[in-house]
Amino acid sequence: MSRAGLRDEDYVAYLDESGEDGLQVVAGLLIPARWLRGGERRWRDFVRGELDSRSGKLEVKGRDLLAGRSASLQAQHVQLAHGHSMSARAAGRTFYRDALEHIALINQLRVLAVGLPTRYPLSVYRLWFWMANALLVERPRAPRPKLSLVVIDGEDASFRGAQDLVAHRFYKAFPKCQPYVVRGSQWFIGGSVHQDSSLHPFIQMADLVAGAARHSIVGRQPQGEWYREHLIGRARRARRRIDASNHALSRLRRLSPSDSCGSGWRDALLP
């Protein structure tokens, strides 16, 4: 079974958040750039078959699937065509579970999800970046994994600013933990951009994972079991470990046992 850490690859991360009163969760999907196109194509094929979408570019959102709206109606149409009578809500939830199992089998994918008891998503984005950076410097020397690009859903510039701020503070907080790929000035983490979820499948997948992680943290039934059963469990049955959340948090704790770096890891909630 593969380990939960990152490999010596150039990663791209796709982030989205999911929240409710007193809880905000951020989930990121990290995938090596060389596997990105294959993962996108597989998602398009999945949506094409499960939602009867010719292009495979139909936008999917977790809240709509749970409520029986939007893509849920397409899922219901497909179920009816196959002789299965069910409501749009039931069809949407069935698709949600199947989608999590599809995500679990994407080649070389890693999931990093964390929540905080707060009303402010920005605080959780900052913690997510601290945890991701801790994964990047797990190895004592190069070659190391590299996070070349972070793609964030929406248009909130403060989320991009959080990445820059945490990268700087991480470097200052751990001077003996060399944050370089090789000797010189090459920074181990790249920049970030915004992209609307309707334009990229991995942002949509991050939305589904963030929602499932939030329900798991709250313990809501029945969807509170989906993260463990249909995402992590499906990967485990394929002898894969895709959830790097606990591993990343452990690495950050090891780097800063008293949280002198100010990451906020003491309040972290994992799915």
The list of the chain residues with pLDDT below 70 reads 1-4, 140-142, 176-188, 197
What is the reported pLDDT for 3?
56
Domain 10-38+110-267: CATH superfamily, name plus number: Ribonuclease H-like superfamily/Ribonuclease H (3.30.420.10)
Question: What's this model's pTM, rounded to 2 decimal places?
Answer: 0.93
d(CA 248, CA 226): 21
143 preceded by cis ω (within 30°)? yes
Q: What is the pLDDT at residue 184?
A: 47
The domain limits of the chain are 10-38+110-267
pLDDT at 181: 44
End-to-end CA distance of the chain: 21
Helices (H), the chain: 36-51, 62-67, 71-81, 88-104, 121-136, 157-173, 201-218, 226, 233-237, 245-255
Residues 167, 183, 146, 3, CA torsion sign: negative
Which pLDDT belongs to residue 12? Answer: 94
Report pLDDT digits (tens) over 141-169.
667 788 888 999 877 889 989 998 998 88
Could you report the per-residue pLDDT of 130-145, keeping only the tens digit for each?
999 999 887 766 677 8
The strand pair at 146-153 and 189-195 is best described as parallel
* Burial of 239 per CB tally in 10 Å (0-12, 13-18, 19+): exposed
59 close to 71: Cβ distance less than 8 angstroms: yes
Collapsing DSSP to helix, strand or coil, 117 comes out as: coil
